[in-house]
Amino acid sequence: MKTISTIKSLLAGAILFAAVVLPITATEAPAATRASASGQAKVSTTLPEFIILHYYSDLELNFETPSSEALDEGDNSMNVAWSGIVNGNDELKPNDLKDAKLELDKDLVTVALPNVWAVRGFSPNGKASISIEIPNNGKTLKKGPSIIAMSNSKVTQGKTSGKSINVALNGIAKSRATTGGVTLDLDFMKTTRSGKHTGGLYKITAKTI
């Protein structure tokens, strides 16, 4: 009977040992191979062609005030008849007058306006054409009979200047916008009054190229 009891004990021990060992053996088994597949997708995008132009619709040019002067033209001796008529004397002649601190070349002033336009956007080659013109109804600034003639308008960007220039477009961000200026000739030949003269006009056009 002792032998049978011993055999039962051994069988029970073997079953318990198997119950403990088998889960450990299953955990340590090699992982199964996972299924996998990959592919590549080409991405493209088509951007629209467009341009944004920034400009001032109203410009007021305030000229600095020159100093008023009194110029001494030297001595003169005049022969006066008893009738009060003065004859045969040297008189002030326009071409012989002394220069004042402010002297204009034939009443013409070229005004350079810095950074009065900016462009940004997209174009086929990354560039834009900027042009300027003075319409017929914008060639004179007036105050009553006093007239300032405006002509010879040009757009500028760096050292480049002309009626039309090509500039680089640097995308759509404001921080990378391309900026430029304008030059204008103002003729004061027929200007006789101080104060505000109005009526001048120029037109800027920006085109993608």
- Across all residues in the chain, what is the average pLDDT? 86
Domains of the chain: 50-59+87-208 (2.60.40)
Least confident of 42-46, 88-92, 184-188, 193-197: 88-92
For the stretch 34-49, pLDDT in tens is 999 999 999 999 999 9
User: Residue 118 class from Cβ within 10 Å (0-12 exposed, 13-18 middle, 19+ buried)?
Assistant: middle
Please state, in angstroms and as integers, the Cα–Cα distance from residue 46 to each residue in 43, 122, 124, 173, following that order.
11, 11, 11, 18
Report d(CA 126, CA 168) in Å as an integer: 6
pLDDT for position 122:
97
Got the DSSP string for 46-98?
A: -PPPEEEEEE-S-----PPPPPP----------EE-TTS-EES-----GGGSP
For the stretch 193-204, pLDDT in tens is 999 999 999 999
Beta carbons of 148 and 200 less than 8 angstroms apart: yes
Q: Are strands 178-187 and 164-168 parallel, antiparallel or unpaired?
A: unpaired
pLDDT for position 75:
79
pTM higher than 0.85: no
pLDDT for position 17:
46
